[in-house]
Chains A and B, each alone.
Chain A
């Protein structure tokens, strides 16, 4: 078999008429949603503690004490679930020359005009940005979060460091929320995307339109010959 350049094991052409392409395996999808759910819980609970006007959100968890207790544990959960995602996905998220062209044409991307864009592998530069931003921010958040985890690590760092940790944690949280919004919006706006994380497959047209190199590689591997 040829070496995969744009896809990863598990990615394959699932049906041929119409074409559907398997993009994420079940485990990956489950893990993604675990990460997503964790992030949402963290986001809501974090926001509740971030700004007085949102403190009422603590009621969702059963009050301030539970929120304070829950948030860091979910953070740890998110860290590990994302770690799995990271290990799976980091290679295909490495930057490639075509990403530069893609970024240069970001205006057209925003308008949904992809004609002038280069052919892409499994991820475009925007997705890669989300991936790396999440990776970095989660590391920052878990590190700063442990430093301010009063219940278990009250004396891990000095109080001045702790002050910085709280500030960094809030800034990183704001950033990750922005990235999160971008991620969700992009998934919604780019129609046909969400099924990749629900059913695990995308249509051939979606793959052709957004990740043609990825499709070509899969087609090269699985395309010829009669379908089952």
Chain B
């Protein structure tokens, strides 16, 4: 296999990507951030940022992405029940990293009925809340190409990533107690392949490539949608999380909530920021101060000792039951 040294990320925007030989990457030297590792050494290089674009206007809800995801990741989603909806499984699970969500919408402006189908899954935020919330060093990493990946051997299963995520994505397994989510197929991307879902998508509603290419592609898609009367079509690449490496083209970009509750302005919750930020610093400082204060007090102030006099008084009291005059205090 020959490798192209200039090729560090897959460059393609189609469902069947050319197999471009590429030197495998996404090793430790490509990590730019890792959970609970504030002093991580800088990455050895900067990879070209990648992105997965989900064009909901092309999506037919076939769930091929779900099947491909389960196949590639070798997960075993449960054979559940029908509960009167098309979503199956009914939610993301540790065995199902991506999910088609279906919503029925009667557009009050056009009077038309719309069936809005959105592929849900990890957004691979530039500012990942999961990574911020995670207490286990190296359990969540962010590569320089933008992929946010869970390193399961480091995961302790606390579920803090769930509280950190603005999109309600990670799920902790009941069997191995580790947290799971879309990896953006980091194992495929590392060798020049697009994610399994993008490869399986029959309508190219899911495309993958460099973030730059994907944005260009998305803009063209938005133009097409506008020509079809979707005046509010646009790109959903939430800046509240610093932009994302999975992003959407929406016909109704002004109302992301129509798409099964896609957040309007997602960002890491201030509560989480407060907890992971000032609380930790001030908390540790307070504990440290208390400990130091106690020690200092112990050293500087005389210990509170019981005197012989005290013992004698006690004996007097016990023996005679009479307190000495003047010792009764209020």
Contacts and interface: CB of A to CB of B under 8 A. Distances in A.
Interface of A: 13, 16-19, 49-52, 55, 58, 63-65, 67-69, 98, 101, 110-112, 114, 117-119, 148, 150-151, 154, 159-160, 162-164, 166-167, 170-171, 173-174, 177-178, 181-182, 185, 188-192, 203-209, 212, 215-216, 219-220, 222-224
29 contacts: A16-B318, A49-B135, A51-B280, A55-B36, A55-B137, A58-B156, A69-B157, A112-B305, A118-B329, A119-B328, A148-B159, A150-B158, A163-B271, A166-B133, A166-B271, A167-B271, A171-B283, A173-B283, A181-B294, A185-B298, A192-B305, A203-B306, A203-B311, A205-B306, A208-B313, A208-B314, A212-B329, A215-B314, A220-B321
Given A49-B158, A65-B157, A112-B304, A219 B163 contact: no
A177 B271 contact: no
Contacts of B314: 18-19, 203-205, 207-208, 215
Interface of B: 36-38, 133, 135-137, 154-160, 162-163, 168, 172, 174, 177, 269, 271-272, 274-275, 279-280, 282-284, 286-287, 290-291, 294, 297-298, 301-315, 317-321, 323, 328-330
Given A188-B298, A204-B318, A174 B135 contact: no
B102 to A, nearest CB: 22
Nearest to A64: B156
A126 B319 CA distance: 30
A112 B36 CA distance: 43
A125 B103 CA distance: 61
A65 B310 contact: no
Nearest to B268: A163
Nearest to B164: A163
Given A16-B315, A166-B275, A178-B287, A119 B162 contact: no
Nearest to B179: A150
A202 B133 CA distance: 47
A68 B283 contact: no
B280 A50 contact: yes
A69 to B, nearest CB: 7
